[in-house]
Amino acid sequence: MMHDTTDVFVIGGGPAGLAAALAARQRGLQVTVADSCTPPIDKPCGEGLMPDSVAALRRLGVNLPMHEAYRFRGIRFLGGALSSEAEFPEAFGIGLRRTILHRVMVEHAERAGVQMMWNAVVTGLNDRGVLVRNQLFPARWIVAADGGSSQTRRWAGLELHRKKDQRYTFRQHYKIAPWSDFVELHWGPNCQIYITPIAVNRVCVALISRNSALRLEDALPYFPAIAERLRGVDVASVERGAVSVTRKLARVCTDRVALIGDASGGVDAITGEGLCLAFQHATRLAECLASGSLARYPEAHRSVALRPAMMARMLLLLENRETLRQRVLRTFVKDPRVFTRLLATHVGEGSHLDFAASGLALGWKLLTV
Ligand SMILES: Cc1cc2nc3c(=O)[nH]c(=O)nc-3n(C[C@H](O)[C@H](O)[C@H](O)COP(=O)(O)OP(=O)(O)OC[C@H]3O[C@@H](n4cnc5c(N)ncnc54)[C@H](O)[C@@H]3O)c2cc1C
């Protein structure tokens, strides 16, 4: 059976696909989204939306239900006996259960007139459009938002990458009132745990390491303060694992297929910026689609991804270097303005130059601490 032609067919109805759909609708394009699952779709995630993610969502017309969410003021780093925190310069971040984010984005997309197809497995592409269980859906543009192991990327010949790195993650929710209005990043031996307050009675705990067999239960003894907090607390979800892939692709589009979200690369989960990247890319992609050409998308994609990629590199430098990590933490404790400046540039307040200047300031302090 042949279906009507749509302007944009989005493969994958996760946050990136829905953001792309919303942005394209803002430009007056007709949009269909297909996802093999049914909503609300869950996925292991730290569930923290940094202030720049919240702002990007707002630009897409999405209002978050604050009564189901939790505001956080900044980020706290903890390692050994040291702890330092930095507040966001102006706005706040939002912790929100992933299923709630998905539900809300679907509602907004439906209201905006996006055509949704759930339980719809995309099985291939051809020169006229997208095959859903081998039925053709003709489309002018195809947006691949089918996640880190995107098949569309392969079908479109965009698999070639310049860099790839991966780490393993496990996340679990606990039924406990948040003890802090900061996202906490705890540094341990070859692993990190970060804790996001996501509701008045819930926290989300995510473990990241290079050891695929390291589960939360095994890692907690390295983090006595967290183990103490969580002792005897009921879990609110099943522990779920995921791979956090950082991939730098050689190309993010052809002349009619564009990649977005984790399908288009991704940054290490430790940055907490994966969703923000997808939301910001969505707006830039829609501009290109509306202009009738994807020629500018690669540069737009690159410039949005630059800052989180630099931050990921900086954070991963500390991953296995206990002495350097302690020096950085001591620097932050001694001069919290350094951390505050770095965090501000991380969440998009300031230019790439500011970011470089903050990095240099940190470097100088490290030499002199
Ligand atoms: C442990 C962890 C913690 C993280 N913490 C944070 C954080 O705190 N803040 C943050 O901003 N980011 C965080 N991230 C990153 C963030 O979760 C991802 O960047 C984000 O989920 C990417 O969304 P996406 O829509 O690209 O992909 P996905 O959410 O994976 O969506 C892809 C969709 O495509 C569908 N699909 C796949 N193949 C097909 C097909 N053939 N046909 C139809 N549908 C298909 C899937 O069903 C799925 O719904 C974290 C990641 C991890 C692993």
Q: What is the pLDDT of residues 326-344, one digit of tens each?
A: 999 999 999 999 899 989 9
Q: Per DSSP, what are the bridge partners of residue 143? A: 10, 258
- What's phi and psi for 47, nearest 5 deg? 65, 25
Mean pLDDT of 29-56: 97
CA angle 40, 42, 46 (to 5 degrees): 130
Residue 126 lies in a domain: yes
Domain co-membership, 32 together with 48: yes
Q: How far is CA 94 from the centre of its chain?
A: 13
- Here the tokens at position 207 are 């473990």
Domain co-membership, 273 together with 356: no
State the pLDDT at residue 356: 65
pLDDT confidence bin for 368, thresholds 50/70/90:
low
Q: Does the pLDDT of residue 93 top 60, yes or no? A: yes
Q: Per DSSP, what are the bridge partners of residue 240? A: 171
> What residue spans of the chain are helical by DSSP H?
15-26, 51-59, 98-111, 151-155, 216-219, 224-230, 274-291, 297-317, 322-334, 336-346, 352-368
State the pLDDT at residue 345: 86
State the pLDDT at residue 360: 62
Closest CA to 72 of 197, 179, 172: 197
In the chain, pLDDT over 90 holds for what percent of residues?
A: 86
Residues with a CB atom less than 6 Å from ligand 1? 11-17, 34-37, 41, 43-48, 53, 121-122, 145-147, 151, 169, 171, 206, 242, 244, 261-263, 266, 269, 272-276, 278
Parallel/antiparallel/unpaired status of strands 135-144 and 161-174: unpaired
In the chain, pLDDT over 70 holds for what percent of residues?
A: 94
Ligand 1 atom, smallest distance to 120 CA: 43
Cα(149) to centroid(ligand 1), Å: 10
Residue 237 lies in a domain: no
- What's phi and psi for 22, nearest 5 deg? -65, -45
State the pLDDT at residue 3: 85
pLDDT tens string 99-157: 999 999 999 999 999 999 999 999 999 999 999 998 999 999 999 999 999 999 999 99
pTM of the model: 0.95
Domain co-membership, 145 together with 255: yes
Most distant CA atoms of the chain, gap in Å: 70
3-state secondary structure of 6: strand
Q: Does the pLDDT of residue 224 top 70, yes or no? A: yes
Domain co-membership, 289 together with 328: no
pLDDT tens string 287-317: 999 999 999 999 999 999 999 998 898 899 9
Domain co-membership, 310 together with 334: no
Domain with 260 in it? 6-67+98-164+247-314
Q: Does the pLDDT of residue 346 top 90, yes or no? A: no
Lowest mean pLDDT among 211-225, 246-260, 319-333: 319-333
Domain co-membership, 263 together with 155: yes
Cα(285)–Cα(122) distance, integer angstroms: 21
Question: Beta-strand (E) ranges in 44-95?
Answer: 48-49, 70-72, 74-79, 82-87, 93-95
Of 272, 297, 314, the residue that ends a domain is 314
Domain co-membership, 310 together with 328: no
Cα(246) to centroid(ligand 1), Å: 13
Yes or no: say if 263 and 148 are a contact pair by the CB < 8 Å rule: yes
Residue 115 lies in a domain: yes
